Amino acid sequence: MKRKVVSVLLTAVLAATVLSGCKAEEVANQNASANNQESTPSTEEGGASQTEGEAPAGDYSYVIGHYGGITGGVATAGTAGYEGIQLAIKDWNEKGGVLGGQIGFEFYDDGSTTEGAVKGVTYLLEEKNVNGLISSQLSGNIQATGDQVEAAQVPEVGTGMNPAWLQQGWSYLFRSVPSNAGGAQPLVDAMKSVGVTDLGALIYQDDGNTSAWNYVTEVLDNTPEINVTTVEQAMVGESDWTGTLSSIIATNPNGVLIFAQGEQASLMIKQLRDLGYGGYIFGPETFSLPDIRNVAGAGANGIIFFAPHCIPDSPEEANTPEEKEFLEKYVAEYGRMPASDVAYRAWDATNILLTAVEKAGTADGPTVRDTIKGLQMDILAGKADFTAYDNGECLSGQQIYITHDGKNILFSKFLEENDPALYMK
Amino acid sequence: MKKNGFFETKKGKTIAAAVILALLVIIPLLMDNNIILKQNKYFYVLLCLIGIYTIITSGLDILFGYTGQISFGHAGFFCIGAYGSVLLTHPGWGLGKLTGYVLPPILSILLVACITACIGALLAVPASKLVFHFLSMLTIAFNQIIYLIANNFSWLTNGSIGITSVPAVTILGFSFSTVSSKLRYYYLVLFFVIVLLVVKTHIINSRVGRGLIAIRENPTAANGCGINVAKYKIMSFAISAFYVGLAGGLYVHMIGFVSPDTFIQNTSVIFITMLLFGGSGNLVGPILGAAVITFIQEGLQSLADYRMLIYGVLLLIIILFQPQGLSGLGKTFSGLAARGKGGESNG
Amino acid sequence: MSMFISLLVGGLVLGCTYGMLSLGLSLIYQASGFMNFTQANLLMFGAFVCYQFFGVWEIPFVISLILSVAIMFCVGWGIERVVIRRLVAKKAKNVYVVLSTIAISIIIENLAMLIWNPRQHYFPSIFKDSSPIKIGSASIGKESLLCIVVALAAMVALHFFLNKTKFGTAMRAAAQNKTAASCMGINVNKTIGITYGIAAALACLGGILIAPKMTAYYQVGNQISMKSFAGAVIGGYGHIYGAIVGAMFVGLLETFVGAYISSAYKELIVYGVMILFMIIKPSGLFNAKVYE
């Protein structure tokens, strides 16, 4: 009897889940078809023609789709990005929305995987008929879905920093941050200015970090003052690097470069410091993650990194009024500071997309794309200028920061007040 | 045991299969022309994935459901199939980079499936001797090594960055490109699914299949009956690997991108859970498992980060209360009905 | 020389962590004949529980440690009581028991993610002065030494528990022959349940000791899991002392290969050694039964 009840319940639960999946699709279909009729007058008002099958869902005049990972390996960054977009859309909607209506938001959790991203993009484009896309911060996922986005003629603003996905010739893809290629030269300059002559390196083997390291290698090849003692690899999924870090220390470097995601980098720094290395550590934009300072504690002092954004400890310490405003809104909404600078990038991406839509006066993909191409505006990352580049970039170069006395400050400011060799061992 | 109605007879089964098949062909076609439902390309993606996972779970079923050998490393075969096909067809990598010539994708998918089968047979040589636990661990280690090779050998696989723009399948000038619509690709997948399921049925009903089942039931007795246990196990591994390798090829030409992340050991665990969810040791179970898990994953999308938790709980419930999987539900119910009528219960 | 010392300590720390898991794996295998995939996630969860006591509520470290180990002991026992025993009672196939442990580990991992969010949680220093100790020119973290000392102490304690106490003898008897043991008045179900509890407690201890080095993070279990299996296999699956030796071997191998041979291929080498063992000497260093 017990077994019977359980079997029946089980079937019911499964049927319900499967049906809810199907039902959601049906409802969406009805919405979409209902909208086809409803949206006719609104498009007349806007004086714009909509591409076939791109009618916005629900009562929204513009729908933004986002695929990203709020679960999986890089959930910290993914969640921050998700929150950044929602905050920006809320902000716009409070100001009256765009194209005379409110802005909708559709999300697909890709679990930080490529297959998830492919499913997610198809879902957003075909099922939810979104008008514009904000990508995940994982460059590999953007690259894997680029062809689809291009074919659907939907503008996408990406937040990944690997230069590669804007070098494929896709015309609907844009980036809201400078690529990490621009970080190499200033980072090497910083190494020279603190007097590093022998550099050991540890590179985490994922696409973002290997590509960023390739740019640094190019610069280092033309820098005879700095000799690279060893380049070690850290594999995806590892969490202990005692052996690798020991062999780096054994080559007696006076500077160590670590390129890794924030989750791994914080452990690497802690383990490196435990092994007795007290000198400068150099890193990429992921080092702006506040968790680095939490995990590595005092060991985080003396870290030099490039980043488009660097999250301060409180909104009051923001570098620009725009950043302060953004952080105040963020804290008001979520009760805490962003956990990753991807929140900045996503906020910028949403603003770029919506500004272009407002300027274009239509949700039509090709028109919005052309508007973004001619866009010049102030964003958190600086003065974005899409006209200066022909491939969808809007900025170049990176800021250099240093962690000093438990705070991230601009490296130039640090040099003014301190001895450059402060953290040389 | 009495026959349970029309669909238990051979003729009934054939008719049922034909009807399902016709529906599978016609419904998407009608959808594509906006006759019923609405054209929905996202649905085709799911259908394609279900088809590919069906091939995988059916392959795994030959190994696990019929031969009784566990594998926690089938993502390794999947990886070989996917990367193999990319390296044979991509103009910028592997064969194309070395010689300037590439194979047509459809040929490479078949070729790679054969290569995967050989690798499966090689793995089976030590594996055929091991008991359950050690077999699990050997296959886990195999999966890890394949994953690490894909991740570390950048000159061959482009490492963790992955390879983009994988060429689309083209047969006699007819393109199965998946960029704008996956409907055509769905029919390609469906074709392979049907062929492989028919082949599977024939294998199971042949001398080999009976040998495999004998090994599952009792290896010692099978040996006593003159069945070469090691040889049959190696064959089972090879066939299973062939299925999964072929699925890998189909998968990669659909997604158009390949990177090592897809082939972590967790993927193997998902394959096994699909099979158990649906029910092993029969034809329908693997199909049901692939379909239901894919739909559950999508149906639970709106639950965001609670998704995996619910997935785990469902899995545990299935294992605890319905160990024959979904395909056993019918049996459970008819058993219960019989018991309700005063029939004899056997647990 | 200083590099050698840091490597030795680093390798031992890893080895001890893997050892805590493979010890649990072997205990469970010996007592009930099942593989168990939950160990690594119990390690992760234990670290989180201790983080909650020690890091958030600021209860003194020793009390937090004892509390979390006790809680995880109950969790382990509970898993056996609620899931494993039911399956065994139904005469479920081996593989279903193993899969139920996979399902449980998915549940534990995601519970941890939902309770403590997916970020890494900094485990506060156990010692007030966290500066490394200098041995010659090598520097060693105090937490690493603590990890090795406590792990070794736990292993010795387990040895005495199994061999010198009445209950330990009962557990060994039940592991050798269930029917005979129950005829002698031993409650076999209880001994198996307690074995799962001990395994979970060991995993929790390992998780707490490694937490200062690896933080409390919901995905910390994945890699450790595979390595501890490798350790158990190399030692001889189901053999308690073999598990410790095998795990130490894997920890040291990983660290030394990473330092002296190649950081990129260290994982390949570890798994390669494991496969070689399975092909050439699957019974491991200490002979275990592996063939059909």
Mean pLDDT, chain C, integer: 87
Subunit partners of chain A (3 or more CB pairs within 8 A): B, C
Distance from CA of A412 to the nearest CA of C (A): 30
- The reported pLDDT for the residue numbered A129 is 86
Chain A residue closest in CA terms to B340:
A1
Weakest mean pLDDT among A1-15, B96-110, B127-141: A1-15
Q: Is C264 on the interface with A (CB under 8 A)?
A: yes
**Cβ distance of B38 and A32 shorter than 8 Å:** yes
- The reported pLDDT for the residue numbered A23 is 41
Most confident of A15-29, A137-151, B53-67: B53-67
When comparing pLDDT for B150 and A237, which is higher? B150
Distance from CA of C72 to the nearest CA of B (A): 20
Give contacts of B64 with chain C, Cβ < 8 Å.
95
A306 band by pLDDT with thresholds 50, 70 and 90: very high
Chain C residue closest in CA terms to A275:
C139
* Structure tokens, B185: 């690709």
Give contacts of B329 with chain A, Cβ < 8 Å.
7, 10-11
Q: Is C7 on the interface with A (CB under 8 A)?
A: yes
- Count of residues making up chain B: 347
Note whether C100 and C84 are within 8 A (CB): yes
Task: Report the run of H or E that residue C290 belongs to, with start and end.
Answer: none
Distance from CA of B142 to the nearest CA of A (A): 17
Give contacts of A25 with chain B, Cβ < 8 Å.
40, 42-43
Other Cβ atoms less than 10 A from the Cβ of B280: the count is: 26
Q: Name the A residues in 136-165 with CB < 8 Å from any B CB.
A: 140, 143-144, 146-148, 151, 164
A28 band by pLDDT with thresholds 50, 70 and 90: very low
Residue A332 is which amino acid? A
Mean pLDDT, chain B, integer: 83
- The reported pLDDT for the residue numbered A309 is 84
In whole angstroms, give the CA distance from residue A200 to residue A197.
10
Residue A63's beta-bridge partner residues? A104
Distance from CA of A193 to the nearest CA of C (A): 28
Residue A2 has pLDDT above 70, yes or no: no
Chain B residue closest in CA terms to A121:
B42
- The reported pLDDT for the residue numbered A330 is 94
Weakest mean pLDDT among A169-183, A391-405, B151-165: B151-165
Residue C2 has pLDDT above 80, yes or no: no
Most confident of A64-78, B16-30, B116-130, B316-330: B116-130
Residue C53 has pLDDT above 90, yes or no: yes
- Beta strands A227-234 and A280-283 are unpaired
Domains and CATH numbers, chain B: 24-330 (1.10.3470)
Note whether B245 and B81 are within 8 A (CB): yes
- The reported pLDDT for the residue numbered A48 is 36
Give contacts of A210 with chain B, Cβ < 8 Å.
154, 159-161
**Cβ distance of B179 and A148 shorter than 8 Å:** yes
Most confident of A17-21, A30-34, C104-108, C138-142: C104-108
Q: Is A251 on the interface with C (CB under 8 A)?
A: no
Give contacts of C116 with chain B, Cβ < 8 Å.
none
In whole angstroms, give the CA distance from residue A347 to residue A334.
14
Of B140, B142, B319, the CB nearest to C100: B319
- The reported pLDDT for the residue numbered C253 is 92
A320 band by pLDDT with thresholds 50, 70 and 90: confident
- The reported pLDDT for the residue numbered B35 is 63
A263: Cβ contacts below 8 Å, ≥ 6 apart: A73, A74, A76, A291, C120, C217
Chain A residue closest in CA terms to B308:
A71
C175 band by pLDDT with thresholds 50, 70 and 90: confident
Chain B residue closest in CA terms to A68:
B304
CA atoms within 13 A on the CB side of A397: 7
Note whether A300 and A407 are within 8 A (CB): no
- The reported pLDDT for the residue numbered B6 is 56
- The reported pLDDT for the residue numbered C128 is 74
Domain A181-307+399-417 has CATH 3.90.850.10: no
The C-alpha R_g of chain C, in whole angstroms, comes to 19
Q: Which homologous superfamily does the CATH classification assign to the domain defined by A60-178+328-388?
A: Response regulator (3.40.50.2300)
Look at the alpha carbons of A335, A336, A337, A340 in this order and tell me if their dihedral is positive or negative. Answer: negative
- The reported pLDDT for the residue numbered B191 is 92
- The reported pLDDT for the residue numbered B336 is 61
Most C CBs within 10 Å: which of B320, B322, B346, as the mutation test of the C interface?
A: B320
Residue B53 has pLDDT above 50, yes or no: yes
Chain C residue closest in CA terms to A277:
C139
- The reported pLDDT for the residue numbered B7 is 57
Q: Output the CA angle A201-A206-A209, nearest 5 degrees.
A: 45
Other Cβ atoms less than 10 A from the Cβ of B283: the count is: 16
Weakest mean pLDDT among B243-247, B272-276, B309-313, C130-134: C130-134
Of B142, B148, B315, the CB nearest to C106: B315
DSSP C80: I
Give one DSSP letter per residue of C4-22, joined into a string: HHHHHHHHHHHHHHHHHHH
**Cβ distance of A243 and C219 shorter than 8 Å:** no
- Count of residues making up chain A: 425
**Cβ distance of A7 and B165 shorter than 8 Å:** no
Of A70, A237, A243, the CB nearest to C259: A243
Give one DSSP letter per residue of A182-208, joined into a string: GGHHHHHHHHHHHT--EEEEEEE-SHH
Give contacts of B309 with chain C, Cβ < 8 Å.
106-107, 110-111, 114
Q: Is A162 on the interface with C (CB under 8 A)?
A: no
In this structure, what is the dihedral angle of CA atoms A330, A332, A333, A339, given to the nearest 10 degrees? 40
* Structure tokens, C9: 């300590």
**Cβ distance of B336 and A7 shorter than 8 Å:** yes
Share of residues in chain A with pLDDT > 90 (%)? 34
**How far out from the chain centre does Cα A157 lie?**
10
**Cβ distance of B296 and A21 shorter than 8 Å:** yes
- The reported pLDDT for the residue numbered B142 is 93
Weakest mean pLDDT among A116-130, B45-59, B242-256: A116-130
Give contacts of A275 with chain C, Cβ < 8 Å.
6, 10, 132, 139
Note whether C270 and C253 are within 8 A (CB): yes
- The reported pLDDT for the residue numbered B172 is 77
Share of residues in chain B with pLDDT > 90 (%)? 32
Distance from CA of A234 to the nearest CA of B (A): 10
Q: Name the A residues in 355-384 with CB < 8 Å from any B CB.
A: none
First to last CA, chain C: 47
- The reported pLDDT for the residue numbered B20 is 79
A4 band by pLDDT with thresholds 50, 70 and 90: low
Residue B340 has pLDDT above 50, yes or no: yes
User: What are A57-106's pLDDT values in tens digits?
Assistant: 457 899 999 998 887 767 788 889 999 999 999 999 999 888 888 999 99
Residue B345 has pLDDT above 50, yes or no: no
Note whether A130 and A154 are within 8 A (CB): yes
- Count of residues making up chain C: 292
Residue A134 — φ and ψ, nearest 5°?
A: -115, 130
pTM for this one?
A: 0.84
Residue A12 has pLDDT above 60, yes or no: no
When comparing pLDDT for C283 and A285, which is higher? A285
- Beta strands A376-379 and A382-385 are antiparallel
Give one DSSP letter per residue of C151-178, joined into a string: HHHHHHHHHHHHHHSHHHHHHHHHHH-H
- The reported pLDDT for the residue numbered A282 is 94
Task: Report the run of H or E that residue B218 belongs to, with start and end.
Answer: none
- Beta strands A407-410 and A399-404 are antiparallel
**How many contacts (CB atoms, under 8 Å) link A and C?**
112
* Structure tokens, C193: 């349940």
Other Cβ atoms less than 10 A from the Cβ of B212: the count is: 27
Distance from CA of B292 to the nearest CA of A (A): 7
Residue B68 has pLDDT above 90, yes or no: no
Residue A307 has pLDDT above 60, yes or no: yes
Share of residues in chain C with pLDDT > 90 (%)? 37
Weakest mean pLDDT among A105-109, A232-236, A292-296, C84-88: A292-296
User: What are B161-218's pLDDT values in tens digits?
Assistant: 788 888 888 887 777 777 667 788 888 999 999 999 999 999 999 998 999 999 888 8
Of A232, A235, A242, the CB nearest to C267: A235
For the purposes of burial, counting CB atoms within 10 Å of the CB of A217, is it exposed (0-12), middle (13-18) or buried (19 or more)? Answer: middle
Chain B residue closest in CA terms to A148:
B179
Residue B306 has pLDDT above 70, yes or no: yes
Give one DSSP letter per residue of A329-398, joined into a string: HHHHHHSS--SSTHHHHHHHHHHHHHHHHHHHTS--HHHHHHHHHT-EEEETTEEEEGGG-SSS------
Task: Report the complex ipTM.
Answer: 0.85
Q: Is C261 on the interface with A (CB under 8 A)?
A: no
Q: Where are the domains of chain A?
A: 60-178+328-388, 181-307+399-417
Residue C222 has pLDDT above 90, yes or no: no
Share of residues in chain A with pLDDT > 70 (%)? 86
- The reported pLDDT for the residue numbered B341 is 52
* Structure tokens, B313: 């709980």
User: What are C242-276's pLDDT values in tens digits?
Assistant: 889 999 999 999 999 988 888 878 888 888 888 88
**Cβ distance of A243 and C7 shorter than 8 Å:** yes
Of B180, B182, B257, the CB nearest to A143: B257
Distance from CA of C288 to the nearest CA of B (A): 11
Share of residues in chain B with pLDDT > 70 (%)? 88
- The reported pLDDT for the residue numbered A56 is 45
Query: Helix H segments across A162-320?
Result: 184-194, 207-221, 242-250, 262-274, 290-296
**Cβ distance of C272 and B145 shorter than 8 Å:** yes
**Cβ distance of C103 and B148 shorter than 8 Å:** no
DSSP A49: P
Pick left, alpha or beta for residue B104 (phi over 0 → left; psi -120 to 50 → alpha; otherwise beta): beta
Distance from CA of C73 to the nearest CA of A (A): 26
